[in-house]
Amino acid sequence: MSECIFCQIIAGDIPSNRVAESDAAYAFTDINPHAPVHVLVVPKIHVESADHLTTEQASVMGDMILLAQEVADVSGIRESGYRLIMNVGPDAWMSVPHLHLHVLGGQRLAGHLG
Ligand code: AMP
Ligand code: ZN
């Protein structure tokens, strides 16, 4: 079994609250939500972070954005808007080393970053 927690979630070995799914990506609710809607979109292949993405893997980023659109749709926040966040490395507090996109919305978010 993979030691990666998100690979285990994708495999169904760790339970998750599924929001949407495509051939290339999986979306599930964040266990520690920072907004009324807080969903994680992860590629089904293991990529450590955005900084590790190779040219051959580059299309998974588009797949993740397309699934994020569907997440926004089914979560009812496509009109009101949402924030996509991708943390990379220690200064960004990346805590799970499997590429993931945070989809945040459902309220007026802070008007600044960082
Ligand atoms: P990051 O800090 O950008 O690496 O984001 C990792 C996110 O994964 C955090 O927001 C955690 O709350 C979330 N997380 C960690 N374990 C789980 C889990 N088992 N199910 C759902 N979300 C998780
Ligand atoms: Zn993984």
CATH number of the domain where residue 11 is located: 3.30.428.10
Query: How far, in Å, are 3, 41, 52, 66, 72 from residue 81 at the CA level?
Result: 35, 17, 29, 15, 8
Q: Domain residues for 94?
A: 5-105
Candidate of 19, 96, 100, 102 to mutate for ligand 1, largest count of ligand atoms within 8 Å of Cβ: 96
Q: Bridge partners of 20? A: 27
Q: Give the list of residues 6+ apart from residue 113 with CB closer than 8 angstroms, or none.
A: none
Distance of alpha carbon 55 from alpha carbon 52, whole angstroms? 10
In a domain, 111, yes or no: no
Q: Does 113 score more than 90 pLDDT?
A: no
Q: Is there a domain that residue 67 lies in? A: yes
Asked whether residue 110 is domain-assigned, the answer is: no
Q: Answer yes or no: is 60 within a domain.
A: yes
Confidence check: pLDDT of 1 > 90: no
Mean pLDDT of the 40-45 span: 98
Q: pTM for the complete prediction?
A: 0.97
pLDDT above 90 covers a percentage of the chain that reads: 96
How far, rounded to the nearest angstrom, does the alpha carbon of residue 109 sit from its chain's CA centroid? 18
Confirm whether 113 is domain-assigned: no
Which residues keep their CB under 5 angstroms from ion ligand 2? 4, 6-7, 46, 98
- Quote the number of domains for the chain: 1
φ, ψ of residue 48 to 5 degrees: the values are: -65, -45
